[in-house]
Amino acid sequence: MNVAGQNSRAAYVVWLVGLAAYLLAVFHRSSLAVAGLVASERFDITAAQLSTFVMLQLLVYSAMQIPVGLAVDRFGPRAVMLGGAVVLTVSQGAFAFAETYGTALAARFFVGLGDAMTFVCLLRLVNAWFSPGRVPQITLLTGPIGQSGAIIAAVPMTWAFSELGWTKAYLAAAALGLLVTFAVLAFVRDEPHARSVRGAPLSWKNIRRSLAASWEHPGTRLGFWMHFVTQFSSTVLGLLWGYPFFVEGEHTSEAFAGTLLTLMVVAVMVAGPVLGRLIGNHPWHRSTIVLVIVSSIVVVWTIVLAWPGDAPPWMLVVLVIVVGVGGPASMIGFDLVRTSNPVDRLSTATGIVNQAGFLASLTTVIAVGVILDRTDQSFKAAMSFQYVLWALGLVQVWRYRVRTRARVLRDDPDRWARHAGLG
In this predicted structure, which of 42-51, 386-395, 414-423 has the lowest mean pLDDT?
A: 414-423
Residue with the larger pLDDT of the pair 36 and 9:
9
Q: What is the pLDDT of residues 257-295, one digit of tens each?
A: 888 988 988 898 889 889 988 888 888 889 999 999 999
Whole-angstrom distance, CA of residue 227 vs CA of residue 120: 14
Q: Span 11-193: which CATH code?
A: 1.20.1250.20
pLDDT of residue 243: 83
Whole-angstrom distance, CA of residue 6 vs CA of residue 138: 12
Per the DSSP assignment, residues forming a β-bridge with 191 are 194
Decide if pLDDT at 110 tops 50. Answer: yes
Q: What is the pLDDT of residues 391-403, one digit of tens each?
A: 999 999 999 999 9
Which secondary structure element, helix H or strand E, spans residue 376, and what is its range?
Answer: none
Decide if pLDDT at 420 tops 80. Answer: no
Most confident region among 151-155, 240-244, 321-325 by mean pLDDT: 321-325
* Residue among 32, 160, 152, 164 nearest 104 (CA): 32
Architecture of domain 212-410: Up-down Bundle (1.20)
Residue with the larger pLDDT of the pair 3 and 232:
232
Whether the domain at 11-193 and the domain at 212-410 fall into the same CATH topology: yes
Q: What is the pLDDT of residues 23-44, one digit of tens each?
A: 989 888 877 766 766 787 888 8
Residue with the larger pLDDT of the pair 74 and 31:
74
Decide if pLDDT at 360 tops 60. Answer: yes
52 burial type by CB count under 10 A (0-12 exposed, 13-18 middle, 19+ buried):
middle
Which secondary structure element, helix H or strand E, spans residue 315, and what is its range?
Answer: helix 313-329
Whole-angstrom distance, CA of residue 301 vs CA of residue 316: 9
- pTM of structure: 0.82
409 burial type by CB count under 10 A (0-12 exposed, 13-18 middle, 19+ buried):
middle
* Residue among 274, 273, 266 nearest 321 (CA): 266
Residue with the larger pLDDT of the pair 187 and 51:
187
Centre a 10 Å sphere on the Cβ of residue 229 and count the other Cβ atoms it contains.
31
Q: What is the mean pLDDT of residues 354-380?
A: 87
Decide if pLDDT at 66 tops 80. Answer: yes
pLDDT of residue 392: 97
User: In b/e form, how buried is each residue of 236-272, taking b as 16+ CB within 10 angstroms?
Assistant: bbbbbbbbebbbebbebeeeebbbbbebbbbbbbebb
Packing angle of the helix pair 346-374, 119-129 (nearest 10 deg): 140
Residue ranges per domain, the chain? 11-193, 212-410
Residues 352/366, Cβ–Cβ less than 8 Å: no
CA 139 to chain centre: 12
